[in-house]
Structure 1
């Protein structure tokens, strides 16, 4: 009986295996959303649209007039990194391109991105290197779950801020014809998957603690039985 319980203790639970699956989904979606410029896109059917699409770090314009150029002679066309140092006048409109709500979105989603990178390392260690019979196994799971929780909450704050403010009329032109793009959708799904993975890892830690406690109690009873019979 004790040997059977020891074998069960050495196995990962279903929650842990499912958590890995959700984490893989979250990792892929968040990394793609972080690096692609389709958080807000313009309707491709509108030929006179000034904006094409934009992401956290890249903006693509069809013909955006410099909002600070009184003579209205400077226009920005094509895709550019938001900190592009080579395009004349692009640095001067950075305040327009990155208003405070966009800075907050970048900040919180960057925290989310860093969290899933750290989570990837810990999840690989959990899956490839550590087993339930190792002393620090539960601590590893709790650390992974905590980091993913922070990442999920940060990502949720980022997508909520962006959803509330990004398509308002006081920012990008043509807001009536703009809509949230596939990068933003991936970010939302990735954040949800990250929170689910965190919850499942917490559940896995609870299951492994419970298994260890039950094994210790079983071993204690087994050690006491011969003494009781001898008495």
Structure 2
């Protein structure tokens, strides 16, 4: 009886096809998720905070306090359209503030062409991060290697992250080239790029890194799937001949 049961176990083991280790995520996938989370936090914070350009805090009479993509903070900015210098803007305001008298009249000064370009490309990057965030949640919580569109999801996520990183890089490069030039914000020699801009730069690079990691993960998962299908085909041929 023992011999018969031993033979039966051997027969059942021979009927099991050789399998490939189909992990839900590999190291590149886990690393991509981690890098994405950090990039997401940095890009969202940079998008919402007004410290892209800041004035030297040691200068008490500075006209600029700080500014971001959507909010400008001034200590005492004279109206560029008022030749008599009787109107000054103080405090923080949304750049499209409709309530402050005269603020809409200096919007052309506050929003030159390079600033609009920066807003445009960084907004695209922000939207890309939101879309990627949903895709990452699906990748972590719902998708698996056995699902049909698993690799397509990872590839799409990788390409969206690459596009997001490129768009964010364009925004920060444009702002770096023109944000502290002479003729825009007053006392430009006493201004420097703030921590929001640093976050934007780091987030842009990390988004590119996350895109590369996700595309690497897609390539690994695709190779594993091909190996798994090849092993199944070999098993079926051997089992059919037997």
- TM-score per shorter chain, which class? over 0.9
Unaligned runs of 5+ in 1: none
Helix, strand or coil at the partner of 2:226: helix
Unaligned runs of 5+ in 2: 1-15
Matched, 1:66 2:79: yes
Q: TM-score, normalised by structure 2?
A: 0.91
State the 1:111 CA deviation: 0.1
Separation in structure 2 between the aligned mates of residue 115 and residue 160 of structure 1, nearest angstrom: 18
Out of 174, 178, 192, which is 2:205 matched to? Answer: 192
Q: Judge conservation of contact 2:39–2:207 (CA < 8 Å) in 1.
A: yes
State the 1:71 CA deviation: 1.0
State the 1:219 CA deviation: 1.0
State the 1:146 CA deviation: 1.4
Helix, strand or coil at the partner of 1:9: coil
The answer for the alignment partner of 1:103 in structure 2 is 116
RMSD: 1.1
Out of 49, 53, 67, which is 1:40 matched to? Answer: 53
The answer for the alignment partner of 2:174 in structure 1 is 161
Separation in structure 2 between the aligned mates of residue 41 and residue 62 of structure 1, nearest angstrom: 12
Q: TM-score, normalised by structure 1?
A: 0.96
Out of 173, 176, 183, which is 2:196 matched to? Answer: 183
State the 1:3 CA deviation: 5.1
Helix, strand or coil at the partner of 2:73: strand
Q: Judge conservation of contact 1:39–1:54 (CA < 8 Å) in 2.
A: yes
Instruction: Report the number of matched residues.
Output: 227
Separation in structure 1 between the aligned mates of residue 210 and residue 228 of structure 2, nearest angstrom: 27
Matched, 1:129 2:142: yes
Matched, 1:89 2:102: yes
